[in-house]
Chain A
Amino acid sequence: MSVHAPDHDAARSLLRDCIRIVVTGALLGVAFNQAGLGSRPARGLPWIASAAPLESLEGAGVVVEEASRPSTRTAPSGASLGASGSPAVPSAGVESPLPRSEPSEPAEVRADLPSIPEVGRPLEVKIATVAKFVEAEAALIVDARDRGAFADGHIPGAVNLPYEEATRDLGALRALDPRGRPVIVYCSGGDCEASRMLAELLTSEIGLRRVLVYEAGFPEWAASGMKVDR
């Protein structure tokens, strides 16, 4: 055993030196960034990265005031929308604003759909606009949540492409066929980043030009009394 003691000590010493190098480097980085943040103008990076807010569809010059109200053909009186563009939660027993089996009438319905610009970057979209596209089947709806969450309930007509799977195999991403329609991606709302990351993949890797992100996601959709498929 004593024969191996020097080797053991050398290995421990090497490990200590490695840790010193990494810790020194990390501390230097933190100090340098802190100094940058304290300078005027500030040059450092924020410690915690946060995704910059997405530009909204309206911000991209799209007029969607009509889209803040569901189609009169299908909207029940109890599902009127507020001025914010978010639908009021319908009272219990009121039928979902989306038809369950009624065939769509694309020509009539699409007349009040906003025209999505080909900006080549993801834009944020609100629930009212999503509802109109879902109703008219005028967009490819992509659910970026995992398989289990999708099976528990999803926006009608949505296809499931978990973000993690998409990053592992871009072939699945390329297999998406929007058939000339815009794509709307959603996930679980809140801190969920999957929809946005998937939307970025769709624009950067697949080259789609009209990709929308429904950031409030499925929780808002379900809580608003919209139709949910299982």
Chain B
Amino acid sequence: MSPILRWLAERPVVRTAQIVVGALLAWAALAKLGDVPALARDVHQFRLVPVAGENLLAIVLPWIEMTAALSLLVGFRARAGAVVAAGLMTVFTAAVAIALARGLSIECGCFGTASSWRVGTTKLLMNVGILALAGVAMLRPRTADPRFAV
């Protein structure tokens, strides 16, 4: 294992990544829950889901994010929470990439209506960054580093 990977797999690093990803997911979920109809409209703008399924997706998506976020923040089944977070981020990143490829100029809706982020390269890179962080959060912690022992 390379030194970088070994360092990334250290328990404090993994735990920090889990907390950061959990906090981001919780923020995104709360923002979406604040205006679910707006989320349904944003989902529609991406034109990736059949119209009939848009509401259902908008209804369950923020709660799946929230459950994964709580799991990461509390540290209960945190690896599973990180895997779900990584799965969600993969789907979001793919959706942004497809929208970009289609030349759509639409609101991302990633953090509800509170943010006015639009689909673009910045958003794509941000998603890739969070996805990488979720990848770290998924790592099985190696041995505890005595420097961080409590």
Query: Looking at the complex, which of A17-25, A66-74, A89-97 is the stretch in contact with chain B?
Result: A17-25
Binary B-proximity of A7-31 (CB < 8 A = 1, otherwise 0): 0000000100110111011101110
B30 to chain A, nearest CB (A): 13
A25 x B65 contact (CB < 8 A): yes
A10 to chain B, nearest CB (A): 8
Query: Looking at the complex, which of B76-84, B110-118, B123-131 is the stretch in contact with chain A?
Result: B76-84
User: Do A25 and B60 contact each other (CB < 8 Å), given the known contacts A45-B40, A51-B51, A169-B102?
Assistant: yes
User: Do A21 and B84 contact each other (CB < 8 Å), given the known contacts A28-B67, A45-B55, A168-B102?
Assistant: yes
User: Do A29 and B104 contact each other (CB < 8 Å), given the known contacts A49-B54, A50-B52, A193-B51?
Assistant: no
A168 to chain B: which residues have CB within 8 Å? 102
A193 to chain B: which residues have CB within 8 Å? 51
A48 at the interface (CB under 8 A from B): yes
Query: Which applies to chain A's interface (DSSP): helix, strand, loop or mixed?
Result: helix
Query: Which applies to chain B's interface (DSSP): helix, strand, loop or mixed?
Result: helix
B67 x A47 contact (CB < 8 A): no
The count of chain A contact residues (Cβ–Cβ below 8 Å) is 30
Which interface residue of B44, B80, B83 has the most chain A CB atoms within 10 A? B80
Q: Number of contacts between A and B (CB, 8 Å)?
A: 87
B34 to chain A, nearest CB (A): 12
CB nearest to A166 among chain B residues: B102
B61 to chain A: which residues have CB within 8 Å? 29
A48 x B52 contact (CB < 8 A): yes
B40 x A30 contact (CB < 8 A): no
Give the distance in Å from the alpha carbon of A170 to the alpha carbon of B100 in the complex.
11
CB nearest to A33 among chain B residues: B59
B68 at the interface (CB under 8 A from A): yes
CB nearest to A34 among chain B residues: B59
B75 to chain A, nearest CB (A): 13
A55 at the interface (CB under 8 A from B): no
Residues of A participating in the B interface, judged by any CB pair closer than 8 Å: 14, 17-18, 20-22, 24-26, 28-30, 32-33, 44-51, 167-171, 193, 197, 205
A-B contact pairs, 30 of them (CB 8 A): A14-B83, A20-B77, A20-B80, A21-B68, A22-B64, A22-B67, A25-B63, A25-B64, A25-B67, A25-B68, A26-B60, A26-B63, A29-B59, A29-B61, A29-B62, A32-B63, A44-B59, A45-B36, A45-B37, A45-B40, A48-B56, A49-B40, A49-B52, A49-B53, A50-B52, A167-B102, A170-B103, A170-B104, A193-B51, A205-B104
